[in-house]
Amino acid sequence: MENKIENKYIPLANYFEASKEGTLKLTFAEVETIIGQKLPNAAYLNKSWWTKTKPPLQHFLSWTNNGYFVSKVLPSYYVQFEKPQFQIEQSEFADQKTSTYIIRPAELDDARNLVKLAQRVNIEKEATPPYFLHTAETAPMLRKRISTWHAKNIGQVFVAIVEGNIQGAVEISKVSPSYAQHRAEVKLTIAQDYIPLNIDLLLLESAKRWASLNNIHRIELSVSVSDTALINRFEQFGFLTEGIKKDAILYDNQYFDELFMGIIL
């Protein structure tokens, strides 16, 4: 029988492939965040679901194909994976704490965690207007928007899973008017502690790749001029400043200028 991983567990396989750790301890919630879907009931009820390594089920290939085995299971709480004869590899970010992360398209079940991320980032950036989700958007609203984008192929959301949790996201969507179908807008959300890992640039690269596959010629964005750190990151990726709109944003009884940026693919 072909050793083919179920589509549902491909993000989990990518996570183990990206890991630089000899031992990984993931909660059930973290595993569900990584795959963007709920685990089957059997995963909660039976340790054997995690420890079995024989067909017909293929979920275990997510970790066994990457050299890991299950060393401990605490049902409904966490699973511990280990890699024998593990050797530490030099990280690209040698001056940072080693972290395991993957970038994947958002699933509908990610909506609640995406809203929480946006709320968290808005708190972290107190003086800066929200730039990823409107504060009024709820998980059901976001879930509906993602579903519509997928059905019409007019947009995509990519999430960065770091150590089992969503710590960043980028959304890219086509501009509505027919004369602007070659354009797409991008919005980025990153938890501040994880910017040094460059996951924001990796998310933008995923958005750029989606744009190229969908006949997009130009990507554009707007950001508050007060958010210099974010502007610098966009410039690092290759975005150019194209103009400023005075007093374009009213937030917390304050006016903010809006900066327009763009990049040609």
pLDDT in tens, 216-263: 999 999 988 888 888 998 999 999 999 999 998 877 788 888 999 999
Angle ∠(153,144,250) on CA atoms, nearest 5: 100
Over residues 72-112, the pLDDT tens digits come to: 898 889 999 988 754 333 333 333 445 677 889 898 889 99
Strands 23-27 and 240-251, by their bridges, are: unpaired
Confidence of residue 134 (pLDDT cuts 50, 70, 90): very low
| Distance of alpha carbon 176 from alpha carbon 190, whole angstroms | 26
Least confident of 56-60, 165-169, 202-206: 56-60
Angle ∠(83,87,89) on CA atoms, nearest 5: 115
Q: In the predicted model, what is the mean pLDDT of the chain?
A: 84
Task: Identify the sign of the CA torsion 235, 241, 244, 250.
Answer: negative
Task: Give the per-residue pLDDT at 197.
Answer: 82
Task: Give the per-residue pLDDT at 86.
Answer: 44
**Length of the chain, in residues:** 265
Q: Please check the confidence at residue 69 and state whether its pLDDT lies above 50.
A: yes
Task: Give the per-residue pLDDT at 58.
Answer: 84
Q: Please check the confidence at residue 62 and state whether its pLDDT lies above 50.
A: yes
Task: Give the per-residue pLDDT at 91.
Answer: 35
Q: Which of 142, 167, 166 is nearest to 155 (CA)?
A: 142
Task: Give the per-residue pLDDT at 92.
Answer: 38
| Distance of alpha carbon 120 from alpha carbon 178, whole angstroms | 36
Rounded to an integer, the average pLDDT of 135-147 is: 84
| Distance of alpha carbon 205 from alpha carbon 160, whole angstroms | 12
| Distance of alpha carbon 7 from alpha carbon 157, whole angstroms | 18
Task: Give the per-residue pLDDT at 98.
Answer: 54
Q: pTM above the 0.75 mark? A: no
Q: What percent of the chain stands above pLDDT 90?
A: 40
Number of Cβ within 10 Å of residue 73's Cβ equals 18
Number of Cβ within 10 Å of residue 232's Cβ equals 10
Where does 19-100 have alpha helices with state H?
Answer: 28-35, 41-45, 48-51, 61-64
Domains and CATH numbers, the chain: 7-82 (no CATH), 101-264 (3.40.630.30)
Task: Give the per-residue pLDDT at 136.
Answer: 54
Task: Give the per-residue pLDDT at 234.
Answer: 93
